[in-house]
Copies of this chain bind each other. A is one copy, B any other.
């Protein structure tokens, strides 16, 4: 059994000499506990959230290679002004990789664990950039027959985020949604889910070609923030949909504030008498990403019934509880080839993740590149 299986795990280390070091570490595959299984990781995507942990604030153009061809070591400089940002991880060799899929090759003694032997499962929880991952059986998502590991590799981060947004909307009493950076992979997925569920979605994009993508996917409300008529267009869409909840992937700049302001304008249209404290319609923006790194600016001209805050999938799932999470996962499993399908621009081996051309390519993720790591290759 796995006792003599050798694992290879990608590690990211921030060192005191202002460098980031990426390497492959050989570790032993543990004996699975009664409730655990060992999964041979076959496919694991490089998400923006993975890159943040993998590369931190390192200057990729300074990356250099050492070590051996089979055990390469990549070193890159971290500008000293960014060292404070990573103080908390200094000296810790951290495994990387939020989600993935593979085949269960060994199982503990429990019924739940042995039932998964030989099955293809999806996983989340870190440490996925590795040949093997030891998992609690109940945390494995058994993929439907005929679904490959590659098709199940992105079964968690984007699908659960999208469903989490919709569940948040319901739990907090809103009736429609606003989404920024809406032409992203995640945005397209949210658009599909909202169409399926009959939820009105106001899609905010920055470019004409992004409008076209969403139009071709059947989106009904698309507002271009680069347009002169953006505020007017957005307000009209908010009036039509009654959306009072937005998820913002950009974080910085004025967009979140503009959304709240347009929501207030839309709400004020149905007020029958003047209230200098503004409408009592509650308006919320959750920030879940930071595509725009500039400071966030609020012009609070939207009364007192508003909120802004961070939104993180793991925090949402903790609040939502296990049963809700299981329901969401089941829905994802049935839609992995349709609603929740992901597409990759390139497949690479674990070894190749540490080659300089690849690392330079990661930076292009924002423009639509998405890599899939194949640790068994």
Q: Which residues of A contact B (CB under 8 A)?
A: 52-53, 85, 88-89, 92, 94, 251-252, 268, 271, 274-277, 280, 287-288, 290, 295-312, 314-315
Contact = CB atoms under 8 A, between A and B. Distances in A.
B311 A88 contact: no
Contacts of A315: 280, 304-305
Contacts of A302: 310
B310 A309 contact: no
Given A89-B274, A274-B88, A277-B312, A295 B299 contact: yes
Given A89-B276, A94-B274, A268-B88, A310 B300 contact: yes
Given A251-B300, A274-B89, A299-B295, A307 B305 contact: no
A299 B92 CA distance: 26
Nearest to A256: B298
Interface centre among A88, A268, A280, A297 (most CB of B within 10 A): A88
Contact of A295 (B280, B297, B305, B309): B297
Contacts of A251: 300
Given A92-B274, A306-B309, 8 more contacts: A53-B276, A85-B301, A252-B300, A288-B304, A295-B297, A297-B298, A300-B310, A303-B310
20 contacts: A88-B275, A89-B276, A92-B274, A94-B274, A280-B315, A287-B300, A295-B297, A296-B297, A296-B298, A297-B298, A302-B310, A303-B310, A304-B311, A304-B312, A304-B315, A305-B310, A305-B312, A307-B307, A307-B308, A308-B309
B310 A276 contact: no
Contacts of A307: 307-310
Contacts of A310: 300, 302-307
Nearest to A274: B89
Interface centre among A52, A288, A304, A305 (most CB of B within 10 A): A304
Contacts of A306: 309-310
Q: Which 8 A-B pairs have the closest CB atoms?
A: A304-B310, A307-B309, A304-B312, A296-B298, A89-B274, A88-B274, A308-B308, A295-B297
A308 B304 CA distance: 11
A19 to B, nearest CB: 17
Contacts of A89: 274, 276
Contacts of A287: 300
B271 A88 contact: yes
Contacts of A288: 304
Contacts of A296: 297-300
A268 B277 CA distance: 36
Contacts of A301: 85
Contacts of A298: 295-298
Contacts of A312: 277, 303-305
A280 B319 CA distance: 12
Interface centre among A88, A251, A310 (most CB of B within 10 A): A310
Nearest to A318: B280
A131 B194 CA distance: 56
A262 to B, nearest CB: 14
A199 B288 CA distance: 33
Interface centre among A89, A296, A305, A314 (most CB of B within 10 A): A296
A314 B305 CA distance: 11
